[in-house]
A and B are shown apart, each in its own frame.
Chain A
């Protein structure tokens, strides 16, 4: 049995299962930066309220608003994986991609000042492996829905600012008390 990786993948996220361990940030930064550097991780776990942990990363919107918004063409779409690629030599750190993103997912590299966006590790993301290894299963790989009946646009719903997701999730977890802790 061959385990072929789907050509176009997306990382499914189940926030309620996230332990907040941030091992995804550790492996992401080790992979991309060669060192442990949480603030330079392409995936960031927001914990605006304890217990409400939200792995925040690119969903690869079908219409790629960030790519379209870039004034210097530093962003492009990887043909194989569908990931957004950032050319850090060209990127000037203007932040337009962040403003264009419905989830304000990209952030600037704390050392280089260029935009950081998940590149799906060329189709085999490290964060997913770390999450699966520890059996948290907050993140996993699914083939990307490729038709409206499969829910192409639903993917984009996951590109939400973490403060909004936090509110929904906290209400689910904490009920009426949520409003006192957010």
Chain B
């Protein structure tokens, strides 16, 4: 008997208007668990033999939204969005919080797998066993807030019609995209609840390419049975108590870090990473608390930590902006990285980017890049469609974000993401702009710098990650190291699927798996098999890439040039990454992963993990 899983996957082919339920064998689930691992296995199984030919923004790509066995049990509500990434051309597991995961599971599905593309805009409506592809023409073009408002109303009305005597229907869970996704930008997020986003990977554009505006779910069933519900209840209590013991974490979330990562750690992007230190007290968490936070504890289903905060501007020039916190990443990327140091301007820009359906990290990365090119005179105001893109000008950046989401003018180039935009602008202007680029393999680098040596990220983190610049899935040694320092460890959270912000003790996670599934998934099995296999497939897909570009590890398993330049100011001025030391560590990392000296998984490694088809696919790359 299968415990912890709803037991069915919803398979949708939008080209053929076909909806099917698929059952995955216990053996398959036992081996690949859920979330990122299972998504990787499904994707590779379907597209692996033709990986390089598949256009991430074409109908052949597969879009996945998967829960895991711990989703809905482990406190918090996370799931994984995946597919072939239009940013890295590999596979990225992009985590998103929100009620949709639990609604879907209570409707009886562990995930949704979408193939093909609809002729006209549609949304998918899952209400227990009734699943429909519905017309979305009235919400196509709508921003995030309007999309959520209209779809909530339409689907609640529909539910009331279907079962009128039941009483009031609660809001369903809704995964959606904004205009940036509809316009197939490569930097669009998949969103829930205005500001909750799966950003890395660019899967908003994948939904857009399928003409899929949203997936709505309402599940009225119980969570699927757990193997040992009493033990699950004890473990839930344990996680909650751990959370409640972290008062500071609950009070601030990551919202203190917009000031402190810069001031304390000299590792926060400032003006496109030209600096990583600042002491701007105007950006302190106290200012956010007193001026913009109207709800101090905000969270998703089942979460004890509620690290989010609701931020609202009720007056002033940016009146009407609503978003969460913002969290550290967006305080940094849509704040300090653009030279913005006030809560109001930060909240305004984050709300704008959320409403447009852009990923905040990537949008802040590409806009910072553009602003540095303007600062250096590489891009002129004329080439920026008349904009005066000065550091700190929130309104100018908001205007640029609109142009990116709409693919208008210069926005059309920046909508391709930082790497592709740099290639294009470099060709256009015949200048080397690669040295201003802060990304890894098409994916913007998260807001944790490596130069000061004080933050958790290292020279391996982004250069060798199978998720590129993703700051949550960082490569590092040892392979079974801390959650935030090894992607094999983060794979636990991404496959569970568990919110990493609610993991206070990894030793609670293993018994949690057992109590929910009944399977004795040990630490050893995790690191030697499940997570390792997944990372090898992700690595293979990344190196195969295509069709528009692919990565050569000898060139692209590398840090941005800027990380080798000394920090210009602050207590860590002069610190930088050491290239020789990095090359040595990279060799050690390759060896630990079972990769050859060129960073390609060896035949022996893949055979040992029973990944013969991956071995076969990589054969052509080994002739480098």
Contacts and interface: CB of A to CB of B under 8 A. Distances in A.
Interface of A: 16-17, 19-23, 26, 29-30, 33-40, 44-51, 56, 93-95, 98, 104, 106-108, 110-111, 133-136, 161-162, 173-177, 180-182
B167 A107 contact: yes
Contact of A19 (B193, B233, B294, B299): B299
Contacts of B236: 26
Query: Dominant SS at the B interface?
Result: loop
B295 A51 contact: yes
A176 B244 CA distance: 35
Given A106-B167, A175-B314, A177-B322, A16 B222 contact: no
Interface of B: 72-73, 75, 99, 102, 106, 145, 148-149, 152, 163-168, 170-171, 193-195, 219-223, 225, 229, 233, 236, 240, 243-244, 294-295, 297-304, 306, 310, 312, 314-315, 319-320, 322
| Interface pairs A-B: 7 shortest CB-CB | A107-B167, A110-B220, A95-B165, A37-B222, A19-B306, A36-B223, A39-B220
Contacts of A46: 168, 170-171
Given A35-B225, A50-B195, A107-B167, 17 more contacts: A20-B298, A21-B302, A21-B304, A26-B302, A35-B222, A35-B229, A36-B72, A37-B106, A46-B171, A49-B149, A98-B168, A110-B166, A135-B244, A136-B297, A175-B314, A177-B314, A177-B322
Contacts of B148: 50
A23 B243 CA distance: 13
Contact of A111 (B165, B222, B298): B222
B167 A23 contact: no
A141 B322 CA distance: 32
14 contacts: A19-B299, A20-B300, A21-B299, A23-B304, A26-B236, A35-B222, A35-B225, A38-B106, A39-B221, A50-B195, A93-B165, A174-B322, A177-B314, A180-B145
A44 B170 contact: yes
Given A21-B303, A22-B302, A135-B244, A174 B165 contact: no
B140 to A, nearest CB: 19
A107 B166 contact: yes
Nearest to B301: A22
B314 A174 contact: yes
Contact of A177 (B225, B301, B320): B320
Contacts of A175: 312, 314-315, 319
Contacts of B73: 36
Contacts of B300: 20-21
Nearest to A94: B165
A49 to B, nearest CB: 8
A47 B322 contact: no
B298 A19 contact: yes
B152 A16 contact: no
Contacts of A93: 165
A104 B102 CA distance: 24
Contact of A173 (B72, B170, B294): B294
A91 to B, nearest CB: 12
Contact of B295 (A29, A47, A104, A173): A173
A105 to B, nearest CB: 8
Nearest to B102: A38
